[in-house]
Amino acid sequence: MFNMKFRLIVFDIDGTLKSFDEPVSCKVSLTLKYLEKLGIRIALSSGKHLPYIEGIAQDLEIQRPIIIAENGCAIVDMADNREIWLTERPPEICEIRKRIMHKFPDSLWEQPNKVEFTFSPKNPALRSEMITYANEVISHYRDKIHTYGGSGSIDVLPNGIDKGVGLAEVKRMYGFKKDEVVAIGDGENDIPMFKEAGLSLIVGTQISHPNALSFNTIGEVLDFLTNTQRSV
């Protein structure tokens, strides 16, 4: 089942490659560089904004990282200095942002995104009130947008955009076949990219998915990947 030589491995970042608000470990960095030397392209897929992911890629010291940013809105090849945005911020997200920012002008943190609107309360005590109001506002635009929630923040995206769409575009751009791709994640927003991969690996217990393999830690995942590729 696992004797295929993988050409692309796609990692979610926070909660998968590393813990939230912690740096990437030396083992992770060394293993990704080893996999890259085997000829495998490494991609980082995150709901975070592009500069954040570029910083992680630089910390990893991999040579040819592909980035999927803002839950699939943008694709960047850092080796070729190529940047592609799959969509623009639609007026519905602009209106949602305007109303929520007006309601909580000094009480929320906004991620500096180009398309996706990501926000969270500065004061955790306001989370319930903010989510209730945000859901009320967002409910008027459900035919145009969709959302993800997790780790204290809410992501608002145009319909038709997710990590799976971003990964599908990467496959098209570089000619990767589905059975040459591994996707690794830990959250709800990672599930769309599983359908674009020949092998899906889950870190932790927050989600489940048919035919995906589950591991407790990223260390276990990396051991599995390196052992699999050594046996090919």
Q: The domain at 8-86+161-230 falls in which architecture?
A: 3-Layer(aba) Sandwich (3.40)
Q: Give the burial string for 146-167 (b: 16+ CB within 10 Å, else e).
A: bbbeeeebbbbbbeebbbbbbb
Q: List the chain domain ranges.
A: 8-86+161-230, 91-158
Question: Which CATH number is 91-158 given?
Answer: 3.90.1070.10
Residue 103 — φ and ψ, nearest 5°?
Answer: -70, -35
Q: Mean pLDDT over residues 157-177, rounded?
A: 98
Rounded Cα–Cα distance for residues 120 and 104 (Å)? 11
Average pLDDT along the chain: 94
Please report the pLDDT score of residue 231 as a whole number: 63
Rounded Cα–Cα distance for residues 47 and 43 (Å)? 13
Q: Which helix (H) or strand (E) holds 76?
A: strand 74-77
4 pLDDT above the threshold of 70: no
Give tens-digit pLDDT for 111-159: 999 999 999 999 989 989 999 999 999 999 999 999 998 767 899 999 9
Nearest Cα neighbor of 40 from 7, 2, 81, 88 is 7
